[in-house]
Amino acid sequence: MTQRARIIGVGRHLPARVMTNDDLARIVDTSNDWIVERTGIRERRIASETETTSMLAAEAARRALASAGVDASEVDLIVTGTCTPDGMFPAVSTLVQHAIGAGDAMTFDVNAACTGFLSALSTARQFIATGQAKKALVIGAETMSRIMNWEDRTTCVLFGDGAGAVLLEGVPDEDGASDAFVLHSDGSQSGLLYATGPCGPGEALAREAHLVMNGAAVFKHAVTSMSEACLEVIRDAGLTPADIDLVVPHQANRRIITAMADRLGLSGERVYMNLERYGNTSSATIPIALAEATAEGRLKAGDHVLLCAFGGGLTWGAMTFEWAGIRNPEAAVADSVVAAEVAAE
């Protein structure tokens, strides 16, 4: 019998340090009003010098396991979407495996920039569908602050650090659930959004990695591509936009999300947003938002959920599935209570 993957656990973890728009205004020519009006972002989290992407990822994974009531030893596969790993290798997933005690799990990372979590989730779902894995951790984790040009106000105001994770479990596909996903890319547009690095040509070798973006062009592409991907995946699942109970989009910019929702004819209460608190955490935005939506009671068993993202590459995609329910939703965000207390001291 064919297996399908359902989400049985969610979790997120964020650095304790909060950087507000006013904090940014002290280091670059900007203001709180300018940032909020153009992006909807009010603050973001920034990793400390000792925090790594794998550390954030491991804590989010622990929260996902706790919310499902599952031990790490039961995990068969760990896939992490990230474009800011701790180093060239080993993979973030491999470091997470050791940190949480999932010694028997297969591990690897995927890099599709901000679409990384959807790419990782799609990959893990197919491992489960073929019977190669029974339980899989899928993580989106980033330390985007490490690749910021803090003199470029068009980019440094947008991004933050954090991690989110989901735990998948294989179940018999007896009812033909309306699950579907699509992934797309266009390398001819790679110059619109990219990050330099130590392996790049020419001058890139002599300078630190940093992110470069053509904001206006990316905005236009994001609205169009995410809207079209959402309609494509809704059709593939045999649904209509009216069937969608909650959309969890990539948290890049409030105006992008609003424009996309308008194109789909979805009302505001069916679109989840938390970017005002965290900014764009790249591949981590969707799993962080899923964890918070779960803890807030925004999802119930049987709901049709729609995820969508776009990122450098250019890459974009969407996924829809039925929500199965979480055993202990409060555990998904428990660690961040401590982080908030530390930040407030």
Q: Would the CA dihedral through 162, 209, 114, 139 be positive or negative?
A: negative
Residues 6+ apart with CB under 8 A from 298: 246, 272
Give whole-number Cα distances, 2 to 90, 125, 131, 172, 182, in Å: 33, 12, 9, 6, 20
CA–CA distance, 285 with 251 (Å, rounded to integer): 6
Comparing CA positions, the residue from 215, 212, 141, 157 lying closest to residue 40 is: 157
Range 17-24, long-range pairs (CB < 8 A, 24+ positions): 17/45, 17/46, 17/47, 17/48, 17/343, 18/43, 18/44, 18/45, 18/46, 18/343, 19/43, 19/44, 19/45, 19/46, 19/160, 21/157, 24/153, 24/156, 24/157
Encoded tokens for 323: 């929500």
The torsion angles phi and psi of 28, rounded to 5 degrees, stand at -145, 155
Contact call for residues 328 and 12 (beta carbons, < 8 A): no
Comparing CA positions, the residue from 10, 13, 9, 69 lying closest to residue 337 is: 13
CA–CA distance, 135 with 137 (Å, rounded to integer): 7
Residue type for 200, please?
G
Residues 6+ apart with CB under 8 A from 309: 114, 115, 117, 118, 226, 249, 250, 285, 286, 316, 317, 318
**Catalytic machinery residues:** 114, 250, 280
Read off the DSSP letter of residue 191.
G
Encoded tokens for 179: 């699950």
